[in-house]
Amino acid sequence: MPSIQEKFTQLFGHAPSLMVQSPGRINLIGEHTDYNHGFVLPAAINKYVQIAFEHRTDGMIHMHAIDLNETVTVPAHPLQPHTITWVNYIIGVVAQVHAHLTSQASNNETLSKLNQGFDICIQGDIPIGAGLSSSAAVESAVIFALNEWYALGLTKMQMALMAQKAEHEFAGVKCGIMDMFASIHGEANQVMLLDCQDLSFKYYPLQLNDYCIVLFDTSIKHALASSEYNTRRLECEKGIKILQQTYPAIQTFRDVSVQQVEECLSLCKDTKENINSSSVTTHPSLISTKVYQRCKYVVEEIERVQLAVKDLLVGDMKAFGQKMFATHRGLSELYEVSCPELDVLVNAVKNNEHVLGARMMGGGFGGCTINIIKATEVDHIMNAVSSLYTQQTKRPLKVYPVQIEQGTHIK
């Protein structure tokens, strides 16, 4: 198989000037908390998207996805969302850079260079649709390359925010900041505690000693995820507005206690119609129980992440793992973003003495579970889970042992 540089040269008739590599991510704990002003604890992994880049001067962007064997060409300006998803991860970012440069008159020269276009090839080994943020890795690689090539002087956090905006505006998923943040900021052997309220963050070494991180992939692509994801976001926004009516001091989920949610929950009049209705009215007693369940999960999870970090600091990985199982229960029962296949995988290891913790990871409705497993037992557990999974779901199980690695960088 030709390398990405060779393929680029074959396609465009010249070698690339810039190579960037951007990783996928795992998240130890803190799921669906990023867009709810909570905490997340992600890390970058040794699965990557690579891009090869070269400037051009005819005002066109030529893009080639090696793994899909697809080429798309569009004018560098103006850019509109494209019908092909992966194209949006590239041009969505270019549109953000365009807007950024337009807002500063001193950048006219850079803007004209950006409008001259470029050639780009992408290739990767992050499984697509497995909840490991392959799309964020592409966006992160592209923003990193543009920052480098056009000397934009963006900070890593600015790059993450622009990549997030690209996903909102071009891919139509109202994602939080976690995926791009993790892909760009990752460091080898470190997890990152990100406060999604003020975007401050801290690195912590992850010392697993005899244990390792293994992902079990349901091989169900989280296709439902984008619409349900946006729905969860709306439900949480409704929930906060309603809680504010009873407790005016509340600004975000960070100001909410579990007790407050439970008090509101107990006021719910659960008519059947009410539960099924997505048009939630604003009187607390008429709110769908579902909205409170979402809020309860979020508030509990925000607290759980903070406690889990304490476990990490004192080296109590057993307690940490128990919190991962609790997160899974919350995601499955209250937030309702799991699916039978993910539940099968978590249940399969729940009572295994060699598994510290396991839970579904990412947006949900498919993708992977993250498991902390005793290194010497991985093969055995993997085989057992694999046959159980296939027996119960008639699907193959894919398994990825992962290492925590450096974030987006020049190759």
Residues tagged active-site: 179
Which SS3 state, helix, strand or coil, does residue 320 take?
helix
Place of tokens 């622009």: 162
Which stretch in 32-40, 89-97, 151-159, 285-293 sits in contact with ligand GLA by CB under 6 A? 32-40
- Shortest reach from residue 172's CB to ligand GLA, in Å: 12
Measured from the CB atom, is 178 or 264 closer to ligand GLA?
178
34 binds ligand GLA (CB under 6 A): yes
Binding-site size, ligand GLA (CB under 6 A): 11
Return the H-helix or E-strand segment holding 280.
none
Distances (CA, A) of 198 to 161, 176, 355: 13, 13, 34
- Residues, the chain: 411
CB of 274 to ligand GLA, least distance (A): 27
Of 18, 24, 32, 216, the residue at the interface with ligand GLA (CB under 6 A) is: 32
Q: Give the Cα separation of 337 and 115 in Å (integer).
A: 41
Instruction: Indicate the DSSP class of residue 82.
Output: -
Of residues 194 and 317, the one with the C-beta less far from ligand GLA: 194
3-class secondary-structure state, position 11: helix
Is the CB of 30 or the CB of 321 nearer to ligand GLA?
Answer: 30
CB of 337 to ligand GLA, least distance (A): 8
From 24, 38, 362, 366, residue interacting with ligand GLA (rule: CB under 6 A): 362
Q: Is 132 helix (H, G, I), strand (E, B) or coil?
A: coil
When the beta carbons of 31 and 341 are compared against ligand GLA, the nearer one is 31
Measure CA 124 to chain center: 17
In the block, which residue shows the tokens 């690195």? 203
CA distance 67 to 243: 47
Which H or E run includes 315? none
- Using DSSP's 3-state secondary structure scheme, residue 216 falls into strand
Q: What is the closest distance, in whole angstroms, from the C-beta atom of residue 184 to ligand GLA in the complex?
A: 14
Nearer to ligand GLA, 51 or 171 (CB): 171
Per-residue x/- marks for ligand GLA, 157-196, CB under 6 A? Answer: ------------------xx-xx-----------------
For the window 130-149, what string marks contact with ligand GLA as x by the rule CB under 6 A? ---x----------------
Report CA-CA distances (Å) from 302 to 149, 255, 257, 285: 39, 11, 10, 25
Stretch that binds ligand GLA, among 28-36, 283-291, 304-312, 317-325 (CB under 6 A): 28-36
44 contributes a contact to ligand GLA by CB under 6 A: no
Give burial (CB, 10 Å; 0-12/13-18/19+) of 269.
exposed
Provide the b/e sequence for 84-118 (b: ≥16 CB within 10 Å): eebbbbbbbbbbbbbebbeeeeebeebbebbeebb
* Cβ at position 203, least distance to ligand GLA in Å: 19
341 near ligand GLA (CB under 6 A): no
* Among 30-38, 239-247, 253-261, 400-408, the segment contacting ligand GLA (CB under 6 A): 30-38
CB of 31 to ligand GLA, least distance (A): 4
Kindly state whether residue 31 participates in binding ligand GLA, applying the rule CB under 6 A.
Answer: yes
Residue 126 is given by DSSP the state: S
Q: How far is the CB of 178 from ligand GLA (least distance, A)?
A: 4
CB closer to ligand GLA, 16 vs 363? 363
- Tell which positions 203-262 bind ligand GLA, by CB under 6 A: none
- The C-alpha atoms of residue 212 and residue 342 are separated, in whole angstroms, by 20
**Options 23, 38, 92, 363; binder of ligand GLA; rule CB under 6 A:** 363
Q: Any idea what the Cα angle at residue 291 is, between residues 287 and 295, rounded to 5°?
A: 130
405's CB contacts (< 8 A; 6+ apart) are: 23, 44, 45, 46, 186, 188
Selected range binding ligand GLA among 29-37, 99-107, 297-305, 346-354, rule: CB under 6 A: 29-37
Q: Are 79 and 94 in contact (CB under 8 A)?
A: yes
Per the listing, tokens 């560098």 go with 76
Q: Would you say 150 or 369 has its CB closer to ligand GLA?
A: 369
Instruction: Give the Cβ contact number of residue 232 at 10 Å.
Output: 22
CB nearer ligand GLA, residue 16 or residue 23: 23
Least distance (Å) from ligand GLA to the CB of residue 2? 32
Q: Which residues bind ligand GLA (CB under 6 A)?
A: 31-32, 34-35, 133, 175-176, 178-179, 362-363
